[in-house]
Chains A and B, each alone.
Chain A
Amino acid sequence: MNAIWVFLIGVSVVFAAANGRLEDFTKSIFDAARSAVEVSLFLLGIVALWMGIAKIIEDSGLIHKLSGVFRPLVCRLFKNIPADHPSIASITLNFLANLFGLGNAATPLGIQAMQDLQSLNKDPEKITAEMMLFIVINTASIQLIPFTVIGILADFGSQNPSWVVFPTFLATVLSAAFAVGALLVCRRILK
């Protein structure tokens, strides 16, 4: 992330100077600060809401039951998670929320999953193989039906807005498979 950050900002300053857009550059930085606050405020609401529900599930012991149920699904991919660990439930729920296109639920569930996975991490600053797998599957965004996209196509009078469903699903599944494969190859080579 360090290299990418330096690259993006470095390139931006050079381009801004060359294009005579230094004023735009400065303005964009303050814009960015404002939208970071706006997005964080939104996250604050949904993450606190989810963490509240999650605490109920934890205190009642439901989380361990859920983890037990989902274990066979998740443990095929995530081999180093102990049985009925809470991360199994949060990972599965995050995948389900993504699958059903519930972005507002998927983000807090993913944050919870990352924290649960962090509790298994021996070196808290270094990412684990499980976390990488989790993030890669998330960025591939497997979704059954892209409701937002279909909604926009339908709004503008598409003949057949649900045409996009199958190609989208195929593209996400194939790219997720590629991403997981690439990760496993890297793990083997770079160990």
Chain B
Amino acid sequence: MKTIQLLSQLFIPAFIFGAILYGVVKKVRVYDSFVGGAKEGVRVVVRIFPYLLAIFVAIKSFQASGAFDFSRQLLHAWLGSFAIPLEAVSIALIKPLSGSASLGLFTDIVKTTGPDSLASRLSAVIMGSAETTFYVLAVYLGAAGIKKTRYLVPVCLVADAVGIILAVLIVKWFF
């Protein structure tokens, strides 16, 4: 665990240093290369922005209108027989939509139910194993300018659902 943390901390500095050093050895004008590349980066983000805006509007209005609370209650009632805490259902629903909202909710769950409760542990594993799918889709598809996504989105959503079910099963098994 300590080793992995150290490796994580080392990864970026070593990479940047290595990249610049290699460039200098190969007699590349690294400063000019960097600025040229960064300029291209600005263009990419400008291209992503509309996709990001579209998805944020959809997600935020979904939460604000009460539709999110409704689907959460519905899912919780439907899952009632499996004894899954409402907190974990909330995390499972919000994580694919918003990274910052899920982090806030997770902190709140840990604070209110205690760090070693079933709700906290379930939420912790779901937090670590699910991704902010809609954000990733908006950013990556926007970056490449893809319009026709074929069967990608349904596969991602089904995989999300399966991932969350797996997380619940695994935690129940360990707990």
Interface residues of A (CB under 8 A from B): 1, 4-5, 8-9, 11-16, 18-19, 21, 24-25, 27-29, 31-33, 35-37, 39-40, 43-44, 47-62, 93, 96-97, 100-102, 105, 107-108, 110-111, 114-115, 117-118, 121, 124-127, 131-132, 134-136, 138-141, 143-149, 152-154, 156-168, 170-172, 174-175, 178-179, 182-183, 186, 190
Q: Would A114 and B159 be within 8 Å (CB), given that A16-B64, A54-B37 are in contact?
A: no
Closest to A6 in B: B58
Closest to A141 in B: B131
Asked if B83 CB lies within 8 Å of chain A CBs, one says no
Q: B110: which A residues are within 8 A, CB to CB?
A: 152-153, 156
Interface residues of B (CB under 8 A from A): 1, 4-5, 7-8, 11-12, 15-16, 19-20, 22-23, 25-26, 28, 30, 33-42, 44-45, 48-49, 52-67, 70, 103, 106-107, 110-111, 114-116, 120-121, 124-125, 127-131, 133, 136-137, 139-141, 143-153, 155-156, 158-160, 162-163, 166-167, 170-171, 174
**Per a CB cutoff under 8 Å, which of A32, A121, A136, A164 touches B155?**
A136
Q: A96: which B residues are within 8 A, CB to CB?
A: 11
Q: Would A11 and B146 be within 8 Å (CB), given that A36-B56, A62-B22 are in contact?
A: no
Is the CB–CB distance between B60 and A55 below 8 Å? no
Beyond A48-B37, A62-B23, A131-B144: 13 further Cβ-contacts under 8 Å? Answer: A8-B58, A62-B26, A114-B144, A126-B148, A136-B155, A141-B130, A144-B4, A145-B1, A152-B107, A171-B167, A174-B163, A179-B156, A190-B151
Q: B36: which A residues are within 8 A, CB to CB?
A: 52, 55
**Per a CB cutoff under 8 Å, which of B54, B65, B124 touches A153?**
B124
**Per a CB cutoff under 8 Å, which of B33, B146, B170 touches A167?**
B170
Q: Is the interface of A mostly helix, strand, loop or mixed?
A: helix
**Per a CB cutoff under 8 Å, which of B22, B59, B61, B145 touches A125?**
B145
Is the CB–CB distance between B57 and A33 below 8 Å? yes
Q: Is the interface of B mostly helix, strand, loop or mixed?
A: helix
Q: Would A15 and B8 be within 8 Å (CB), given that A117-B144, A125-B148, A172-B128 are in contact?
A: no
Is the CB–CB distance between A36 and B115 below 8 Å? no
Closest to B115 in A: A158
Q: Would A52 and B26 be within 8 Å (CB), given that A4-B153, A16-B65 are in contact?
A: no
Is the CB–CB distance between B61 and A25 below 8 Å? yes
A45–chain B nearest beta-carbon distance, Å: 9
Q: B58: which A residues are within 8 A, CB to CB?
A: 4-5, 8-9, 12
Complex Cα distance A55/B22, Å?
Answer: 12
Closest to A105 in B: B12
Closest to B30 in A: A56
**Per a CB cutoff under 8 Å, which of B40, B129, B144 touches A141?**
B129
